[in-house]
Amino acid sequence: MKRKVSLRVIRRISFYYEALLKLDLPEDSYVSSKKLEEITGVSCNQVRQDFFYLGISIGKQKKGYQVKKLFAELRRVLSIDRGADVVVIGAGRLGCALAQYKIFKVRNINVTALFDIDSNLVGRELQAKGKNLPIKHMDELRGYLKKHPEIKIAVLAVPEDAAQQTLDQLIDLGFEGIVNFAPRILKLPKGAEDVQLVNDCIGASLYKIIYQIYHQDSEEQ
């Protein structure tokens, strides 16, 4: 039976994967748990425990983990070895910036199209790293998904006042995962508990950091 991995462990695994990308080492070289600690801040003992827990037993004493094999194992755990096609909902500045995000490719994430309701945007193409992404009308999304049933993930980058309604629409269309970048915390409607929703509200994250910085001294007293 396949072991279910906690989201806490998955989060750390994603840190290790990002660290490997940042290090940009030759595939036949080795990386130690100590080096991963330096990049991620996760202790080398925790790194080794996570790898042992997940059955990643490719390390060599005094050498560490071969980069090529470790990449493959981490991709397997994170399921990004399969790749993922996604669409971006909202073709404004934020949506276009996300669609052109250069590091999507190395993460095996492929943006296939953008969708909007603005007639000034619909019908255009967005240049993104050697390919042209079509900007289609939201009314075309249902038909697009019928032609591309493998697409289960949407990146939401619409104005705040349209975000919740658009989320509900995406769920009705059958999306299984949605990353919300709109400046509003969204909630899943009843009956959609199986949908994976991530509220990546940039503003809220900044407010939290600012608060923690200015209240750090008082909290330590």
Q: What is the 3-state secondary structure (H, E, C) of 18-35?
A: HHHHHHCCCCCCEECHHH
Rounded Cα distance between 136 and 68, Å, is 39
Q: What is the DSSP letter of 97?
A: H
Burial of 170 (0-12, 13-18, 19+ CB in 10 A): buried
pLDDT at 169 over 70: yes
More confident residue, 24 or 79: 24
pLDDT at 35 over 80: yes
Q: Which two tokens stand for residue 183?
A: 């400046």
Mean pLDDT of 116-126: 96
Q: Which residues pair with 89 in a beta bridge?
A: 115, 156
Rounded Cα distance between 100 and 58, Å, is 35
Q: What is the pLDDT of residues 130-146, one digit of tens each?
A: 789 999 999 999 999 99
Domains 7-78 and 84-205 share a fold: no
Q: Which residues pair with 88 in a beta bridge?
A: 114, 155
Burial of 164 (0-12, 13-18, 19+ CB in 10 A): middle
Rounded Cα distance between 126 and 94, Å, is 13
Q: Indicate the CATH number of 84-205 among 3.40.50.720, 3.40.190.10, 3.40.50.2020, 3.40.1160.10.
A: 3.40.50.720
Q: Which two tokens stand for residue 161?
A: 């006042």
Rounded Cα distance between 108 and 80, Å, is 6
Mean pLDDT of 49-54: 91
Rounded Cα distance between 63 and 85, Å, is 36
- The band of 75, judged by pLDDT with boundaries at 50, 70 and 90, is confident
DSSP code per residue over 204-221: HHHHHHHHHHHHHHHHH-
CATH architecture for segment(s) 7-78: Orthogonal Bundle (1.10)
Closest-CA residue to 12 (of 78, 110, 90): 78
Rounded Cα distance between 80 and 57, Å, is 20
Boundaries of every domain in the chain: 7-78, 84-205
Rounded Cα distance between 65 and 46, Å, is 15
- The band of 155, judged by pLDDT with boundaries at 50, 70 and 90, is very high
Q: What is the pTM of this model?
A: 0.72
Tell the residue number behind the tokens 């909902």, with chain if given. 89
**Phi, psi (deg, nearest 5) at residue 105:** -60, -45
Q: What is the pLDDT of residues 185-217, one digit of tens each?
A: 899 999 898 998 988 765 555 666 666 667 665
Burial of 72 (0-12, 13-18, 19+ CB in 10 A): middle
